Each structure stands twice: as structure tokens, then as C-alpha cells.
Structure 1
């Protein structure tokens, strides 16, 4: 398949997850593309007002995972783009159990509906480089054919492995459908709002003592471009999607002008606790393991097949920084909490050594 090759413009495209940033912006881009007939936005929740304003040209259908099969069949969808994933448990989505229900069971039901849809010709599924896990056994660079060296500890990574397993089954049952799986690196950029961006946007950034992992980021606008091309072009297979180059965690923190706070706690629970103390929200083991071991992927297959190169990791991160130079200062209570967490970590390490 040559870069940018097309095989007929899709008439009806269904996009899941339009109540959130990625799905809403993708649906809006597709609706503005004259090559596409209709764009249907599928979600069980209504979007925020600022996102709803993007969806003027999108036909919205409110449906949960249980009714998605009827919707896809009734619409005679030719392409389905599944981007409705939750990457971290939170109160809004009901915690880890609800997150797994949404990610794994929801995807399984969607793929079952797609399997029964005779009109379907293209399926695009959002995945993540979290599929590779993050451990001390990792290779320097992951390719799409690399298997995880250890079972990931984090819930999101395990969800991703389940989702990709369902897609492999779908490919066997529907070889006539072009199925594309996109393993995205963590999103960054001036408009991205994720666990990662909130981590770097805070004035005090918890790190793990003695670790300086290599990180890759993906500008969210480049993620939208790759998704768009996956709908209007033929790109079967699985692709790593990330910005070229890497940033060490220490480099990223310095570029952001933040204050690193090393945590000494063995087992990394201290890093999670510190994040919560400082008001960063809920950090799962996926994020903690990433900030300990890092993760770097090879994107040669993407560049070759799509004829598109996402902006480098450093450039994507700098765009994020420019949007967050807001003069944020460290409050006294935040600094006190950070100091207390560090001292507690030191005491626990000393106690462990003496035992």
C-alpha cells in the first residue's frame, strides 16, 4: 500500500466518544471533508458546550454500548472509528470497574455490532503504546511486533491488550474489512487535557528517586491527522504513532519550569500518594510505571505507510509549555505536603534497610 492511497470515500462514518475532546474534534474534521457523506457521532453522554459547538455538521446519536449494535446496523455504516476509551479511573466515570466496563465490554459489543454489519468496509480503533507495558525488561525501542516482556500492572494497559485481542478476532471473522489499530503515545499539546498534561502543568512534579525515564509524546493534532487519514485511506494493520525523538523526564520538567520532588518510596506507592496530596487527581500504575521505566516506540511503519511524520516529541512538548506559562506558583500547603512525603519516603527506606 503506497502512502496516501485511497479506496473509495466512505459514505457514512460513525465516530464513538464524541462527548470528549478527541472524538468531537475528529468528527468535526471528518464532517468538513467533502469526500465523506455523513458523520454520525455516537456517545452515551452529551458533550460540554465548547465541544458541542464543534459538532454542527455531525449527526449525534445518544446510545450506550448495549444499543450500539442496532445503531450501527440502522445507519448502514461503512466506516466505524472507535476512540471512546477511558485511560485513567476517576470519579466522573465511576472508578476502575466502570472504566473496564466502558473500555473492554463496550469495545467487545461494538465489534460484535461491526461484525454483523454487511455495509462495513473500514474499522479504525484507538489503542495505546501502553500495550507494551513498562518494566526493567523492556527493549530500548518497541516495534509493532514486539511482545510485552511482562504483564502490565496498570488497568488501562490490560484493557488495551484485551481490546487488541478482540480486534484480532474481528479481523479473522471479517477479512473483507480494513481494520486499523493505532497505538498512540501519550497525548500532549496546547489543547490537550490528560493525566499527563495535568502532571506537568502543576508547580511541583513528583518523580521517583534515581529514575530518569525516556519519554515520547504525540501532539494531539497529529493524532487527529492520523485518524483522519485512516478513514479516507486504506491502511490495514497496527501502527505506532508517536513523535520522533525522546525527552528524559528531568528534561521535560526543566523545560516546563517546574519543581521536581523525588520520592524514595520502594514499590512506588509514595509517588501515587504524593500526586494525590498535591491535587493531581488519580494516578494509576500505568502512569507510575511509565515515569519509572519510560517507553520508546519505532514509528517507521507509520511514516512509510501513511507518508506522514508527526512533529517531534520535543516540539509537541514545547507547544504544551507555551500554553501553560501562566505564572503558577507553589502554595505553602503544597510545598509542605511535598516535603512531608519525601521525608516519609526516606524514613521508610531507612527502616527497610535496617530490617
Structure 2
């Protein structure tokens, strides 16, 4: 049975805003409500003006008003796209944690108390597996969730998923889909990696060449749309097939690597954050050290979807079509 009334969080973000427009074109949906503390981009708003079934409500998911919005609209499906893994630019750590973790807690409380909600879709991240010298070569969905650092975005994601599992136990009547996305790339997306790979000299950790996976934004949107309109409960890793090493990615982006000793990455990251160039967080440094690769067998077998772009194709396409990356990239 298709969903009828959908609430999408985080619509001021690139992914959430695009999903809002995309769902507005789905014939099986009666109404789509997007919520965030800021409106979507101008381009998305122009598209929404032509979609009568879609509306934007300025609201903070940490506010009790959200529960009233959900009940009055009789929302039956909630798509939580708000959480971030690696914010692209500078941001206060406390603000990001409150939006990710506290916001999710309040949203789940509203879902739990709603008599109408029957489906929850959560956009999570493969960062929940962490990155270290003891990491598995390839992570499956059953692997232990170990954040890369004691306090960071991966830690937030692990906490977030813990709250989602608790909600699923309390409301077994609600179908829960958790999508663990690899780092999403596209030429017109402002992400931590689009900024990182557009630096004239790309700092890397001396002696390390991490294996990376990427996911094209269109594949991420297709996954979210299918999870919303179809019955696809479960936890799924989502990444393009194959891997790129960090050195390969830098060369394909037409950039020059600048290897530095690991202790030097911290002050380098502070300089880049201070210049509002890219947020080189402790999580990102660990990923650049050790990399992370996930298995997508369950995605293909149970969800029934295989990403259209491989990791290499997604990265190359992002480089080729780059329009908003700082400094146009060239292969």
C-alpha cells in the first residue's frame, strides 16, 4: 500500500529539498509536507510553486509544535533527511549535535505518540562503522557500530540509530527503513568532499592511502523515494560499487596531494576551518587515514536496488559537472 501523506525533514538541505520536489511528482502520494527552520533553495521553491500537493512549513523538529503538525495533517510516513555526517563548512559542534541528536529524539517522540504514523525512513551514514586500523576490510549491516572518535559526527550517527532502534521496539507496527549512505557526491552539491577535492593542494596523511566509496546524489534520491513509496523495512548500506583510493581520487580531480605527518593534520584542519574552506573534522581525518568500505549485498537482494553509478563513475560525474564546488574541478 503506497504512502499518502508524507512529512520530510531537513528540506533546507540539498538532499531534503530535492527529495521534496521529487516526491511531489509521485502519483501515489496525496500530500507532502516539508519542515525545517529555513526554507528550501530558490530553485526548489520555484518547483514547489508548480506542485499543488507539496507545502513547506517553517518549524524546528525540536519544537513540540511538530507533533501538532503531524497529527493535524494525519502524516502516515516520516522521512528524516535532516541529520548530517560531515558538514561541509564551519559550524559550531554543539549546534550540529543538538540538531542531529536532540532533533531526532523529539521527532521520534512525535512519531511514537501519533496514531497515524506507519512508516519511518531515516537517512543515516556509513560513518557509524567508524574508521581505524582495526576496522573490517568490508562492513556488512550486522557489524558493530563504533564511532571513529569519542565526540563527533559519527558518534552522533551511532546515537541517532540507537534511538531509531528503540523507537522500532516501542512501535513494532511502524515499518522502519534505515539507509546508511556512503559520502554523497554530485557536481552541484556543496559537501565536505567537494570542498576537500577542490583545494589547490589537498592535504593527506603521510603514509596512508585510504579506500573510499561514494554515492551519486541521484542514487540516494531514488533510494529515499523507493523507501517512501514502497514497503522496504530494514537497514541497508548504500554505496556505489567498487572503491577509489584517496590518491586516485585526487588525481582524477586534477589536484595535487600534499602529504603531511598525521599530527600536522590537526593544525592544517584548524586553518581550513578558520578560513571557512572545508570542515576537516577528526572524523574526516580518521577516514582519510584508514578509509571505509561497505558491502551492499543486502541492498540488492532485499531492497531490490543496485546503484546506477559505481563509486568511480559517481566521482567522475561530480568532477565533470562541477558547478558549485569551490574552484571548478578539471580532470
TM-score, normalising length from structure 1?
0.85
Residue equivalent to 1:39: 32
Instruction: Give the alignment partner of residue 16 of structure 2, picking from 6, 20, 23.
Output: 23
Alpha-carbon spacing, 1:51–1:211, altered in 2? closer, same or farther (3 Å): same
Partners of 2:84 and 2:100 within 8 A in 1: yes
Partners of 1:135 and 1:150 within 8 A in 2: no
Alpha-carbon spacing, 1:91–1:303, altered in 2? closer, same or farther (3 Å): closer
Residue equivalent to 2:160: 163
CA distance in 2, matches of 1:328, 1:109: 39
Partners of 1:154 and 1:284 within 8 A in 2: no
Partners of 1:239 and 1:301 within 8 A in 2: yes
Alpha-carbon spacing, 1:196–1:173, altered in 2? closer, same or farther (3 Å): same
Q: Residues 188-244 of structure 1: CA distance to partner in whole angstroms, max 9, x if unpaired?
A: 122221011111122221111000000000001100000000011111111100001
Alpha-carbon spacing, 1:227–1:90, altered in 2? closer, same or farther (3 Å): closer
Shift of 1:151: 5.7
Shift of 1:148: 3.7
Instruction: Give the alignment partner of residue 7 of structure 2, picking from 3, 6, 14.
Output: 14
Instruction: Give the alignment partner of residue 295 of structure 2, picking from 286, 295, 298.
Output: 298
CA distance in 1, matches of 2:120, 2:89: 31
Partners of 1:208 and 1:263 within 8 A in 2: yes
CA distance in 1, matches of 2:68, 2:246: 46
What secondary structure does 1:318 align onto? helix
CA distance in 1, matches of 2:326, 2:141: 41
Shift of 1:152: 3.0
Alpha-carbon spacing, 1:90–1:34, altered in 2? closer, same or farther (3 Å): closer
Partners of 2:198 and 2:328 within 8 A in 1: no
CA distance in 2, matches of 1:89, 1:249: 20
- The 5 A counterparts of 1:328-343 are 328=327
Q: Residues 153-197 of structure 1: CA distance to partner in whole angstroms, max 9, x if unpaired?
A: 451111101110111111111101100011000011222210111
Shift of 1:278: 7.1
Structure 1 residue 183 corresponds to structure 2 residue 180? yes
CA distance in 2, matches of 1:50, 1:327: 20
What secondary structure does 2:121 align onto? strand
Residue equivalent to 2:59: 63
- The 5 A counterparts of 1:53-92 are 53-56=46-49, 57=51, 58-64=54-60, 65-66=62-63, 67-88=65-86
TM-score, normalising length from structure 2?
0.91
Residue equivalent to 1:342: none
Partners of 1:205 and 1:253 within 8 A in 2: yes
Instruction: Give the alignment partner of residue 233 of structure 2, picking from 227, 232, 236.
Output: 236
Residue equivalent to 1:283: 280
Partners of 1:217 and 1:316 within 8 A in 2: yes
Unmatched segments (≥5 aa) in structure 2: none
What secondary structure does 2:223 align onto? helix
RMSD, matched Cα: 2.2
Question: Which has the larger helix fraction?
Answer: 1
Unmatched segments (≥5 aa) in structure 1: 1-7, 331-355
CA distance in 1, matches of 2:88, 2:248: 29
CA distance in 1, matches of 2:98, 2:156: 10
Alpha-carbon spacing, 1:328–1:282, altered in 2? closer, same or farther (3 Å): closer
Alpha-carbon spacing, 1:132–1:271, altered in 2? closer, same or farther (3 Å): farther
CA distance in 2, matches of 1:62, 1:327: 30
Shift of 1:29: 0.8
Residue equivalent to 1:334: none
Instruction: Give the alignment partner of residue 96 of structure 1, picking from 88, 93, 98.
Output: 93
CA distance in 2, matches of 1:205, 1:295: 19
Partners of 2:148 and 2:286 within 8 A in 1: no
